[in-house]
A and B are shown apart, each in its own frame.
Chain A
Amino acid sequence: MSVYDELSAAIRAQDPVALVTVVEGPNVGSKLLVRPGHDPLGGLGHPELDRVAHRDALAELEAGRSGVRHYGPSGETTPEDLVDTPLVRVFVESWAPPPQMWIFGAVDFTAALAKVAKVLGYRVTVCDAREIFATRRRFPMADEVRVTWPGPMFDERGDELGPRDAVCILTHDPKFDVPAVQGALATSVGYIGVMGSRTTHEKRLERLAEAGTDDPAELDRLMSPVGLDLGARTPEETAISICAEIIARRTGRVTPSLRDGTGPIHQ
């Protein structure tokens, strides 16, 4: 198989894959195809350069990033080794599987949030323990609808979640959202949003403390009340405010989150 054949097959299968291309320096155009758990395919002109680029491409892929990196012709990376050598610039292009959003609670807000999350490219899973609410018919836009409690869901698949992923807990029901928060906090998920008024949030914190979750550093990961302070009213507007907050948290921009204000959410 050619590099292109293997690349296009992996992209179509949504398997993680990175393509390293020399864009400046010796051997312009040479390629290294990198897939986790596979031997790299191709080469950049020097075995040590291949080794270093392979390692770095795996890290870029893990983060879902694409960009230019530079090395010496034999894979040198430290600044003093790069003085007076021709630089090899490589473009590392990553095709990572889509980030995930897990939404707990099969309510009206869930359908709106799932819709907006799909627009942003998330793989969306809706999870609720109530069989009559958690149906494909109500959430046709979701990639997956699971009838289960949060505990088993996180036990089974929590290790799939990473910094690019999001968990949104929309249940308002302590017997469901306490285990959902605990499950989410046990993962390295990048965003945890929990719906409810400031009063609901305070009560939830008390219940979490009773359940043994009271570390302030851990609880600081919770975005609750959830969303940016847009004055959103409808489920659709609220979905936009949640997704906008997810983007702002990822980019590190300062935007008014409801969590960081006081007073009623709706005026």
Chain B
Amino acid sequence: MKDLLDDIDRWRADHKRVALARVVDIEGSGPRDPGAAMAVNEVGEVVGSVSGGCVEGAVVTEALSILQGAREPGVITFGYSDDEAFAVGLTCGGTIRLFIEELDW
């Protein structure tokens, strides 16, 4: 999160809306610990990462949906072991849960 602050501040100063995704939980093998974060602004600029590159593309899509009002803030799960998992998986076989929301606080 610390590495994201400068970009987030710049975007907010430019009046660009920002969505934030943070890893809250991992099961099994996962590349990043809880707290790993990425931020996406309304024009699709991205900073940070939440995995080893496996799910970032899908997170951008979800983040933009949040900013367009097409989805509510909430937990999204990536991984093979979960029935509700998104199509995108982690090559390491683990499961990660992210909380994704608009940074409007």
- Distance of A12 Cα from B3 Cα, bound (Å): 10
Cβ–Cβ contact A93 & B105, under 8 A: no
Cβ–Cβ contact A12 & B5, under 8 A: yes
Tell me the minimal C-beta distance from A226 to chain B in angstroms.
27
Mask for A117-146, Cβ within 8 A of B = 1, else 0? 000000000000000000000000000000
B24 contact from A3, A8, A23, A28, Cβ within 8 A: A23
- Distance of A4 Cα from B75 Cα, bound (Å): 20
Asked whether A91 and B5 contact (CB < 8 A) given A21-B99, A23-B75, the answer is no
Tell me the minimal C-beta distance from A126 to chain B in angstroms.
25
Asked whether A24 and B75 contact (CB < 8 A) given A11-B1, A95-B1, the answer is yes
Tell me the minimal C-beta distance from A65 to chain B in angstroms.
9
A8 contact from B5, B22, B73, Cβ within 8 A: B5
A28 contact from B1, B34, B72, Cβ within 8 A: B72
Interface residues on A, range: 20 to 34
Count B interface residues, CB 8 Å.
19
- Chain B residues, CB < 8 A from A94: 35
Which residues 38-72 in A have Cβ within 8 Å of B in the complex? 42, 66-68
Chain A's closest residue to B25 (CB) is A68
- Chain B residues, CB < 8 A from A31: 105
Q: List 24 A-B contacts (CB under 8 A).
A: A4-B105, A8-B8, A11-B1, A21-B101, A23-B75, A23-B99, A24-B75, A28-B72, A28-B74, A29-B101, A29-B105, A66-B33, A66-B34, A66-B35, A67-B25, A67-B34, A68-B25, A89-B75, A91-B24, A91-B25, A91-B34, A91-B99, A93-B1, A94-B35
